[in-house]
Amino acid sequence: MLKISMFEFLLRGLPEAFLFVFAAFAFTKTKLHIRKYIFASLILASIAYLIRFLPIQYGVNSILIIFVIIVMMNTIFKIDMIAAIRTGIAIIIIEYICEGINVFLIQVVLKIDMNYVFSNSELKVLYGVPSLVFFALIIISYYLILNKRKQLRVIADGEV
């Protein structure tokens, strides 16, 4: 099991879910719809939290979360399946790259033992913030560029 504490869920899992859903809007060039955004983010955060309680190996949880993102984009946002699959995979890849850069900086530049960091919930959240911020900057920048170029499509209000 890959349990996380409620502290980690609130300070890392929830913001990450909101960013993942925002990234889904950005990568599918869909204008942000607040009600759908909040609904989907809370659903994703809850499911991701519950997935952590399954007796599975590390890494399988990421595959399950990709699947949840794809299904949500297809059902809630009405994105076609191919675009949803591409977007789900892109979100996870970019997030992993940001985390990889962060781990590199922690280990090589700061010379901090990752086993020590992962043994403490507070340190895990604290040292995870830079990767989350970097991921957010990438996604928000991309969305703002699309918005400025007027390349975003609108989802009908009645859907959810």
Q: What's the whole-number mean pLDDT along residues 52-81?
A: 90
Whole-number mean pLDDT of the chain?
91
Is the pLDDT at 157 greater than 80? The verdict is no
* 121-157 burial: b if 16+ Cβ within 10 Å, else e: eeebbebbeebbebbbebbeeebeebeeeeebeebee
The pTM of the full predicted model, rounded to 2 decimals, is 0.90
- Of 58 and 78, more confident: 78
How far, in Å, CA of 128 to CA of 131, rounded?
6
% residues pLDDT > 90 (the chain)? 76
- Of 138 and 57, more confident: 138
Q: What's the whole-number mean pLDDT along residues 33-37?
A: 91
Angle between helices 60-75 and 34-51 (to 10 degrees): 150
Q: Integer distance in angstroms from the first to the last C-alpha of the chain? A: 32
Tell me what pLDDT residue 41 has: 96
pLDDT tens for residues 104-149?
999 999 999 999 998 898 999 999 999 999 999 999 999 999 999 9
Tell me what pLDDT residue 2 has: 64
Tell me what pLDDT residue 159 has: 47
Closest-CA residue to 33 (of 91, 77, 90, 85): 77
